[in-house]
Amino acid sequence: MPKAKDTEPQRYHPISHGPEIFSRRPPVLTSAEMQWREEVVAFLQKRQSDISPELSAPSSLAVIKERPATYKVGNETSSEAADSQPIKTEILRERLTEEILVPLRIINEILHVQFGSPNLGNQKDLIDELVYILLTRRSKNKDAEKHLIAIKSKYPAWIDVACAPPEELKAVIMGGGLETHKVKFIQDSLQFIQKQFGRIDEANFVDMSDWQLDQFLKQLPGVGKKTAACILMNVRGTDTFVADTHSIRVLDRLGIFRKELGLTWRQEEHKKAQEELSLLVPPHIRGNLHRNLVALGQEICKSIPECERCELKKFCTYYRTKAQAAHAEEKKSLAIDMFCGAGGFSLGLSRAGFKIVAAIDNNPDAIRTYRLNHPEIPDEAIIEDEIQSDARRVKLKQLRNLLKGQELDLLVGGPPCQGYSMMGNRVPHKYENGDKSFGSDYKFTEDKRNHLFKAMLRVARELKPRYVVIENVPGLGSASIKKEKTYANHIAESLERLGYQVKVCLLEAVNFYIPQNRHRFFIFGTRQGEPIPNLEKFKQDIQEGQMTTLKHALYDLPRLSVSDGRWVAAHSNGIGRNIEWDQQYLERFQIRGNTHILFNHVSRFNNEDDVRLYSELKEGETYQELVSRIGMTKQFFKNYEVKNFHDKYYRLQWEGQSKTIVSHLHKDGNSFVHPDPNRQIRSLSVREAARIQSFPDDYIFCGSRGAQFIQIGNAVPPVMAQAIGEVLMEAIRAQENGIGDE
Ligand code: SF4
């Protein structure tokens, strides 16, 4: 058994994922939320001396606020951050927004989709609700509901209940537990009301304000703050959070309310939790959140939680801590993923049995996506860092620390490919990925991105992994250095000089049953003495009739129009499912994921002219073909010269495969018009692009919609990555079993 100190959960701070899970922009707060935030700031500042000294240490907070671009292992702090002296109130506001408001909004939304804010048996009538709540003490809601019905059937009026012989009333509610206490509280409360008003009726309270009612209820025997809050919430719909056993337990495990802010409660501290949570939970979500947390607590997050069934697990401190502890103990072949992006390569390798010890990328949105979707990998192993063409800047010490003296089995990476891309004669689109430095005067060899593979070679030289895999666009095999040799040859020769046997191959996604015409160049390096992976396995071309089509990949997704969809939505619950189609792709590769929630199924805005044009396109037809077919007969055609825009528009084929999903999708989706024969006249949604790239539906993409398209377009399809991982794993196991090449 590990010591208690070791098992202390490292709180998972959604701040790692920026202000919003889906956008790094600061969230827009309603006036009620702003007021809530000021109240909480005042509350925290008032009790500041009682809580962790960290709160009064601006430098410590600044580390969180201004997370250094370079992640530091251990407890080092950024000197830049330590120097800054932010205003405490401002920081508190920011932290409350980022660490409490935003995560709770998302959690509330996920739970609302899952449970729909269920009725927990609560009553609309105030007296009914009072008695019902008293009956729920230590009892299941169903028992309390049953006993309330039994009481109301036996006694014609509440005054009869108040005056009934206690033993008789006890017999009516027998079976729920604590019957003697319940009878006493019910009768005392009803008698108190009778004494005050001369009758027991909801009408007594109609003219009372919420505050007056709250004060009155708290005078009743057995009614404390929590019960009063519950009655107010259910009968009057007030914005009150009820801190019951379930909600405290779930919130505690989620780790939203952090210890260093003095915001954690022991189970027995109900009163304190009720008092504080009724302030700390933002007002407009209190009722919904309470009901859904109770539903989760009753069904899944029980005293022994069933985390694998939980839709919140990626957001949960408890789950992440456990997953990371288990990951640390795993004895598996080790891999490092450079230029990891959103994590498609890592996902496939993990499924193939590798343990990812480090992943590096310079894109903050991609890093947020990676961290969220790989809860088993600690944050310090997912490194946000500018990997420069100057390979000396690769943080080898950090990688060695993460390897802890173990041998690296596999180094993979897909250095950014804009420079090698065949698109646009290798002239990157201006402003691609926000980079404004390239235009028509683009010089290939001066583009630093075309030399990023050197960083991988340096890591290979220093860490000597058993296998190296470099992925890139086919242009890597044709783009040349000073017209002497291709970049692919250059990389291959460099690897050979480092002691690797090198094989290169062009892999096609369709041959992995991915519904996409995506060709990618792979350089496989095998350290001398290691078994050569059997790349022949990739040579099997699957027949056209066996290929996965867009119909297989997309048919079950909710239909959308232009600018439609929700970031968190419900999955179709099996209606209209086609088993044969499912088996071809969605089930075969677990694309639907382990989830009832559909993330990122949001379509972009398409202007009216584009939509009219989309509606004219037949499946598989380009703009030029459309114009040849019907002539420039429509007003909107005039906007687009055929000679300049011959393939600018393209409608995908329902019974065919997509064009390569590219990061360019973040600019427009004109080449990716939805192929649905029932006409969803729009370009692909983020989730559809992710499905075509073989990401499972529970893989959540962070950042703006544009950032999500970029991450998806740049990714190695996880299904392809898994197949590559399996071939490498086979070679590694062959050697372990003593049957490898010498
Ligand atoms: S992941 Fe587990 S501990 Fe966390 S909320 Fe879900 S069930 Fe509870």
Mutate to test the pocket of ligand 1, among 299, 312, 324 (most ligand atoms within 8 A of CB): 312
Q: What mean pLDDT is predicted for residues 668-692? A: 92
Residues 6 or more apart whose Cβ sits within 8 Å of residue 63: 77, 78, 81, 82
User: Quick check: 17 pLDDT over 50?
Assistant: no
Looking at 3.40.50.720, 3.40.50.2300, 3.90.120.10, 1.10.1200.10, the CATH number of the domain 550-715 comes to 3.90.120.10
Cβ atoms within 10 Å, residue 479: 22
Residues 6 or more apart whose Cβ sits within 8 Å of residue 73: 380, 398, 401, 402
Which region among 56-65, 208-217, 417-426, 436-445 has the lowest average model confidence (pLDDT)? 56-65
Distance from the alpha carbon of residue 317 to the mean position of ligand 1, in angstroms = 8
Beta strands 382-384 and 354-361 are: parallel
> Whose alpha carbon is nearest atom 8 of ligand 1?
301
User: Quick check: 479 pLDDT over 80?
Assistant: no
- Band (pLDDT 50/70/90 cuts) for residue 11 is very low
Give the SS3 label for residue 311: coil
CATH 3.90.1150.10 for domain 332-546+721-736, yes or no, is no
Mutate to test the pocket of ligand 1, among 11, 104, 253 (most ligand atoms within 8 A of CB): 253
User: Quick check: 5 pLDDT over 90?
Assistant: no
Q: What mean pLDDT is predicted for residues 567-596? A: 86
> From the alpha carbon of 305, which atom of ligand 1 is closest?
7
- Band (pLDDT 50/70/90 cuts) for residue 63 is very low
Distance, in Å, from the CA atom of 36 to the CA atom of 686, rounded to the nearest integer, reads 34
Encode 76-129 in three state secondary structure. CCCHHHHHCCCCHHHHHHHHHHHHHHHHHHHHHHHHHHHHCCCCCCCCCCHHHH
> Whose alpha carbon is nearest atom 1 of ligand 1?
313
Distance from the alpha carbon of residue 338 to the mean position of ligand 1, in angstroms = 31
What digits encode the pLDDT tens for the residues 513-528?
999 999 998 999 999 9
Percentage of the chain beyond pLDDT 70 is: 81
Mutate to test the pocket of ligand 1, among 247, 319, 324, 594 (most ligand atoms within 8 A of CB): 319
> From the alpha carbon of 309, which atom of ligand 1 is closest?
7
> From the alpha carbon of 316, which atom of ligand 1 is closest?
4
Distance from the alpha carbon of residue 114 to the mean position of ligand 1, in angstroms = 14
User: Quick check: 572 pLDDT over 80?
Assistant: no
Rg from Cα positions in the chain:
30
In this prediction, residue 450 carries a pLDDT of 60
User: Quick check: 261 pLDDT over 80?
Assistant: no
Mutate to test the pocket of ligand 1, among 12, 106, 307 (most ligand atoms within 8 A of CB): 307
In this prediction, residue 395 carries a pLDDT of 79
Q: Where in the chain is the domain with CATH 3.40.50.150?
A: 332-546+721-736
Distance from the alpha carbon of residue 468 to the mean position of ligand 1, in angstroms = 37
Distance from the alpha carbon of residue 316 to the mean position of ligand 1, in angstroms = 6
- Band (pLDDT 50/70/90 cuts) for residue 117 is confident
In this prediction, residue 434 carries a pLDDT of 39
Give the SS3 label for residue 271: helix
Distance from the alpha carbon of residue 53 to the mean position of ligand 1, in angstroms = 29
Cβ(701)–Cβ(711) below 8 Å: yes
Distance from the alpha carbon of residue 111 to the mean position of ligand 1, in angstroms = 12
Cβ(387)–Cβ(455) below 8 Å: yes
Q: What mean pLDDT is predicted for residues 706-725? A: 95
Distance from the alpha carbon of residue 434 to the mean position of ligand 1, in angstroms = 38
> Whose alpha carbon is nearest atom 2 of ligand 1?
307
Distance from the alpha carbon of residue 303 to the mean position of ligand 1, in angstroms = 10
User: Quick check: 612 pLDDT over 60?
Assistant: yes
Q: What mean pLDDT is predicted for residues 216-236? A: 89
In this prediction, residue 648 carries a pLDDT of 85
In this prediction, residue 723 carries a pLDDT of 97
Q: What mean pLDDT is predicted for residues 295-299? A: 94
Q: 713: which 2 tokens? A: 């377009």
Q: What mean pLDDT is predicted for residues 23-47? A: 82
Q: 388: which 2 tokens? A: 């420069």
Distance from the alpha carbon of residue 718 to the mean position of ligand 1, in angstroms = 26
- Band (pLDDT 50/70/90 cuts) for residue 477 is low
CATH code of the region 126-308 = 1.10.340.30
Q: Where in the chain is the domain with CATH 1.10.340.30?
A: 126-308
Beta bridge partners of 568: 599
Distance, in Å, from the CA atom of 454 to the CA atom of 457, rounded to the nearest integer, reads 5
Distance from the alpha carbon of residue 144 to the mean position of ligand 1, in angstroms = 26
Mutate to test the pocket of ligand 1, among 310, 311, 320, 698 (most ligand atoms within 8 A of CB): 310
User: Quick check: 666 pLDDT over 60?
Assistant: yes
User: Quick check: 466 pLDDT over 60?
Assistant: yes
Distance from the alpha carbon of residue 376 to the mean position of ligand 1, in angstroms = 14
Distance, in Å, from the CA atom of 114 to the CA atom of 570, rounded to the nearest integer, reads 7
Q: 598: which 2 tokens? A: 């559909």
Percentage of the chain beyond pLDDT 90 is: 48
> Whose alpha carbon is nearest atom 4 of ligand 1?
316
Distance, in Å, from the CA atom of 699 to the CA atom of 717, rounded to the nearest integer, reads 12
What digits encode the pLDDT tens for the residues 393-407?
677 889 999 999 999
Q: What mean pLDDT is predicted for residues 520-538? A: 93
Which region among 47-56, 118-127, 162-171 has the lowest average model confidence (pLDDT)? 47-56
User: Quick check: 21 pLDDT over 80?
Assistant: no
User: Quick check: 390 pLDDT over 70?
Assistant: no
User: Quick check: 236 pLDDT over 50?
Assistant: yes
Q: Where in the chain is the domain with CATH 3.90.120.10?
A: 550-715
In this prediction, residue 483 carries a pLDDT of 62
- Band (pLDDT 50/70/90 cuts) for residue 69 is very low
Distance, in Å, from the CA atom of 406 to the CA atom of 409, rounded to the nearest integer, reads 9
In this prediction, residue 443 carries a pLDDT of 56
In this prediction, residue 692 carries a pLDDT of 98
User: Quick check: 566 pLDDT over 50?
Assistant: yes
Average pLDDT score over the chain: 82
Mutate to test the pocket of ligand 1, among 115, 250, 324, 597 (most ligand atoms within 8 A of CB): 250
Ligand 1 residue neighbourhood (C-beta within 6 Å): 250, 253-254, 300-301, 305, 307, 310, 312-313, 316, 318-319
Tell me the whole-structure pTM to 2 decimals: 0.84
> From the alpha carbon of 310, which atom of ligand 1 is closest?
6
Distances (CA, A) of 112 to 141, 287, 614: 20, 11, 35
Distance from the alpha carbon of residue 739 to the mean position of ligand 1, in angstroms = 44
